[in-house]
Amino acid sequence: MFRSDVTVSPVKPAPELEALRRSIDDLDGRILQLIAERVRVVLAVGEYKRRNNLAVYDPERERRMLDRLCGQAPYPLDAETVRRIFERLIDESRRIEQHSIAPPPGP
């Protein structure tokens, strides 16, 4: 049970823990750059589809992509985790794409 009358002094993490956290921070930065690169490509695909009068949403392509990625899930990830991560990435990419083609707000 938590006691509000007890003060806990901050403890400096051990060097090993600090190094692990720096590794996570570095990986997060790399992941962020890859996501940004992926979204730029998604936007280019969307623009190509609009210019060529193609359907923007392709549920069969999305299903095949998710199935492929789930089948490649490396340890310690499982297929469901991979599916959820990429479904979120797809949803957010779609949201960004919709905002990028939306007309600017009127006066």
pLDDT tens for each residue of 59-107: 999 999 999 999 999 999 999 999 999 999 999 999 998 888 755 565 5
Tell me what the mean pLDDT of segment 17-34 comes to.
97
Q: Give the DSSP letter of residue 103.
A: P
Domain ranges of the chain: 22-100
Instruction: Specify whether the CB–CB gap between 71 and 79 falls below 8 A.
Output: yes
Q: What is the pLDDT of residue 106?
A: 59
**Cα–Cα separations (whole angstroms), residue 83 to 14, 35, 94:** 35, 16, 16
Q: What is the pLDDT of residue 11?
A: 78
Residue 36 has pLDDT above 90, yes or no: yes
* pLDDT bracket for residue 40 (50, 70, 90): very high
Q: How many residues does the chain have?
A: 107
Which one of 3.20.20.70, 1.20.59.10, 3.40.640.10, 3.30.200.20 gives the CATH number of domain 22-100? 1.20.59.10
Residue 39 has pLDDT above 90, yes or no: yes
Report the share of the chain in percent with pLDDT over 70. Answer: 86
Give dist(CA 42, CA 65) in Å, integer: 14
Q: What is the pLDDT of residue 20?
A: 96
Per 3-state DSSP, the chain is made up of helix, strand and coil in percentages (nearest 5) of 70, 0, 30
